[in-house]
Structure 1
Amino acid sequence: MFLPGAILLLVYHYFPTFGFVIAFQDFIPAKGFFKSEWTGWENFKYILELPNFYQVLWNTFYISLLKVITGQIFPILIALLLNEMRIRAVKRTVQTLIYLPHFMSWVILGGILIDILSPSKGIINQIITALGFEPVFFLGNPDIFPYVLVGSDLWKDFGFSTIVYLAALTSINPSLYEAAVVDGASRWKQTINITLPGMMPVIILMATLSMGQILNAGFEQVFNLYSPTVYETGDIIDTLVYRMGLVQAQYGLATAIGLFKSAVSLVLISTSYYMAYRFANYRIF
């Protein structure tokens, strides 16, 4: 049972790491790894001198950080609201509806968002124009596009985090609430003094583990929604690697950028696991 998974892991995750040598070469596919000219650190020096590299790096950090923050706060609020819901049928229906987008690919959701946010036929802009305002080009305005990414990512994935926090709520001892009721504590005070402290280990765990994803701003999402008009604020490391490597065939430069991202991610993931162990007693083995 273990062997098929191990083979897939080796083929698709470990064997390809040999390709990192391309980052130190002027790689030509016809010559292969062993005959392409070695350039040392030249590819890294070149990408650090690219005029848009630091803007792309900032976009990646900014979009990822907003996703992490909203992806922590909003699910906690929804989990608390669902926990207060007493009609089980309604509660389960809401859980299913908010969890459903998590199973859809960004190819499908991207098409849905393009239709919804269309400046001419989208339902959002139809409502805006009906209220007497000018239509908004959500996917073509550089100032708005990052927040469209954050909002749509929240819509897709907050249901999964909500389920995690609901599971954390079930671990809180009911006798604590009974004692609070006897003492005359309101529902709000019960939430502040019992519910949130009881959820805190899971909240800390989810927050620290999300640090490892700070450089993953979501390639599939951005690729399906962005356009050259929003490169200024919407271009991220993964889309830059895609364009340089697969579109422009600059394999060495694209691999150097990817290796740079992997190195930074390794530091962030190591830090996040240490913090998860330090503050939430989380271990990976």
Structure 2
Amino acid sequence: DMLELNFSCPHMAVEGAGHHVGQAFDLIEKFTSTVKQCVSIPVIAKMTPNITDMTEPAIYAKQGGADAISAINTVSGISQIDLDGFIPKPNVFGLGSVSGTSGPAIKPIGLRFISDMGKCEELSLPLSGIGGIETWIDALEYILLGASTIQVTTGIIHYGYGIVEDMIEGLTDFMNEKNISKVKDLVGKALPNLKTTDKFDLKRQGRAQYDLAKCVGCGQCYTVCRDAGGFALDWDDKNRRPVLIEDKCLSCMICSFVCPVPDIISYKEMPGTWKRKDACVMDRSLETQIKYQPFKSS
């Protein structure tokens, strides 16, 4: 039905193959153009994530005649070290190598690159989203950031082809609930809400709030708040419950990320007149001294 050109595999050691092509943009254009001259079916160029900006090589692929872009391939990494033989894994007869990391850990990277290309007006090609997809939610997130098709390999190797039926069922239920009739109506739906951090309204402030009736008293929130430098929680030993110090809370919401019980901790926006204690005054003063005070020889 179509050809996908692999400009992205990190296992290729030969020059002019795999991600070596994906990191040499003129080769992307040349290889794509060569294939397009030989075939009549659609050609997809698969991009490597082992690069800073994916929009530029994708544009070179477009110039070579690519009909679509797929991303991402695996991320170069070292998964583990054999502590007995001191050999990077996978151990191939006593040797290891930098290899391709896949699975859920790379989904944030894949979403980022798809969104970059989805927002690039100069590119404007169909996108196929890849990387860490195992559930209908994973698939939908790629679609919302600009992917019009989805590819899954590692998830199927891990769980079998049955997960595709689960994805279809979950996405169908979601669309029925939202009264959305076509998947294409979801493509790129989240892109208008994706901005750089300078667009955030930092005048709006808030704090965490706790539904202690559901709390199991594990203390995870207390530990992480203190060890992450917030110090916005005390601990009620008798009742085994966190006690919020409201005017110290920075609304970082780290406590909500570690809480094992869903929906106990949520964000509460505070009125404009609300002020939190500045727990960092001394730190900022010290930072200023370190930054601007000339070094003196001992």
Q: TM-score range with shorter-chain normalisation?
A: under 0.3
Q: Which has the larger radius of gyration?
A: 2
Q: Name the one with the larger helix percent.
A: 1
Relative contact order, higher structure (CA 8 A, sep 6+)? 1
Q: Name the one with the larger strand percent.
A: 2
